[in-house]
């Protein structure tokens, strides 16, 4: 999975900072934090995945972001930024699950001078494509 521990913690911290500006007794403040904590737990596990209950957490949190934008407790663009980061995170989790379930992509690597094939998930993100392209370019430079 491409999501790292530091990113997950920073995203949760950003949500906490954002909700600091909500009224102190506002239930939305605490519910959003609770959902962010639940999502963080999933991401920190050694084998995170987007289970149906986790997907629901993302959907509920997204709805809470919409409510928060309307309330004008904070700048709507700040809310939108954190909301988009959680949406990207959800999509990345979904993509990693699709990669595990879908077919394979072959990648050659050299072991004792012979070309072997390793199976990888077929669906790869734009970022992964860029990384693979960079690795291929580096490999051709070293040949």
Q: How many percent of the chain have pLDDT more than 90?
A: 42
In which band, very low, low, confident or very high, does the pLDDT at 101 lie, cut at 50, 70 and 90? low
**22 membership: H or E segment, kind and range:** none
Average of pLDDT values for 26-48? 87
- Chain segment 52-72, per-residue pLDDT in tens: 677 899 999 999 999 999 999
Interatomic CA distance for residues 77 and 25, integer angstroms: 23
pTM score: 0.65
In which band, very low, low, confident or very high, does the pLDDT at 81 lie, cut at 50, 70 and 90? very high
pLDDT at 109 over 60: no
- Chain segment 9-33, per-residue pLDDT in tens: 999 999 999 999 999 999 999 999 9
**Given this model, what pLDDT does residue 3 score?**
63
Interatomic CA distance for residues 71 and 73, integer angstroms: 6
Mean pLDDT over all residues of the chain? 79
The residue among 22 and 5 whose pLDDT is bigger is 22
**Given this model, what pLDDT does residue 91 score?**
87
Contact 120, 106 (CB under 8 A): yes
The residue among 1 and 142 whose pLDDT is bigger is 142
- Reading the block at residue 39, the tokens are 């999502």
Contact 54, 42 (CB under 8 A): yes
């Amino acid at each position: 999975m491409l999501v790292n521990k530091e990113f997950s913690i920073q995203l949760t911290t950003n949500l906490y900072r954002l909700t600091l500006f909500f009224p102190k007794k506002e239930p939305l403040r605490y519910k959003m934090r609770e959902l962010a904590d639940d999502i963080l737990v999933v991401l920190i596990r050694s084998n995170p995945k987007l289970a149906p209950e986790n997907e629901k957490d993302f959907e509920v949190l997204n709805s809470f972001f919409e409510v928060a934008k309307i309330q004008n407790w904070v700048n709507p663009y700040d809310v939108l930024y954190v909301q988009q980061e959680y949406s990207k995170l959800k999509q990345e989790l979904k993509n990693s699950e699709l990669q595990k379930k879908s077919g394979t992509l072959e990648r050659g690597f050299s072991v004792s001078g012979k070309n072997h094939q390793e199976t990888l998930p077929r669906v790869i993100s734009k970022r992964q494509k860029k990384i693979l392209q960079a690795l291929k370019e580096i490999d051709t430079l070293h040949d």
